[in-house]
Every structure is written in structure tokens, then in C-alpha cells.
Amino acid sequence: MLRRQGHGKPVDWYLVGVLLYEMLVGMPPYYNNNKDILYQNIQQGTLIMHRRVSPEARSLIIALLHRNPAKRLGSGPDDAEELKAHPFFGKVSFNWQ
């Protein structure tokens, strides 16, 4: 999106990761008040994960924020099934229908 090349599902999965991170941490990943630094952080910065984020949530966020869209969780042929099978959702009983 930052390169203005359009987007598909991989960007949507990335944004799910951004939303989850913000819900758990209280601010967006890679955040900086300076827009140019924010964009640089999104493209090249190190993802800082707070200690209060569980290992399962950490794993899910990292997989959703993978910079390579082809390797991002949910971007494979199984689409959302990849997320549903993630250990983060292991203890939660959902009716995914």
C-alpha cells in the first residue's frame, strides 16, 4: 500500500496483524510521530513486541506482519484456514461458520 501498487488479501491479513497488535499493546506497530520515519519503520524497522504479549499472540502477529506478502499467514492457498489453525485460537471455542 505504501508503494501505491494496489493490494489484495495479503494486505488485508497484514492489517489484521496491525489491529491485533494495537489491541494488545495500545499503539500501532512501528509507530512514530514523524510520518516519514513511520513509513521507513513499516518497510525496514524492527518489530518491538512488549513482554505482556503472550507467545501465541506474538507468533500470530509476527506471521501476519511478515513483510513478504507471499509468506504472510493467510496468503497461502488455505487463506483464512491458516489463521484458524494458529495456536493463538487453540483455547478459544469458535463457530467459524
pLDDT on residue 17: 97
d(CA 75, CA 59): 16
User: For residue 60, what is the enclosing H or E element?
Assistant: helix 55-64
pTM of the predicted model as reported, rounded to 2 decimal places: 0.85
Looking at domain 9-89, its CATH superfamily turns out to be: Transferase(Phosphotransferase) domain 1 (1.10.510.10)
Hey, CA dihedral for 77, 24, 65, 48, is it positive or negative? negative
pLDDT on residue 19: 97
pLDDT tens track, the chain, 97 positions: 445 556 688 999 999 999 999 999 999 999 999 999 999 999 999 999 989 999 999 999 999 999 999 999 999 999 999 999 999 998 777 777 7
Cβ(68)–Cβ(2) under 8 Å? no
pLDDT on residue 6: 62
Grid cell in block for residue 73:
499467514
d(CA 19, CA 86): 17
pLDDT on residue 2: 46
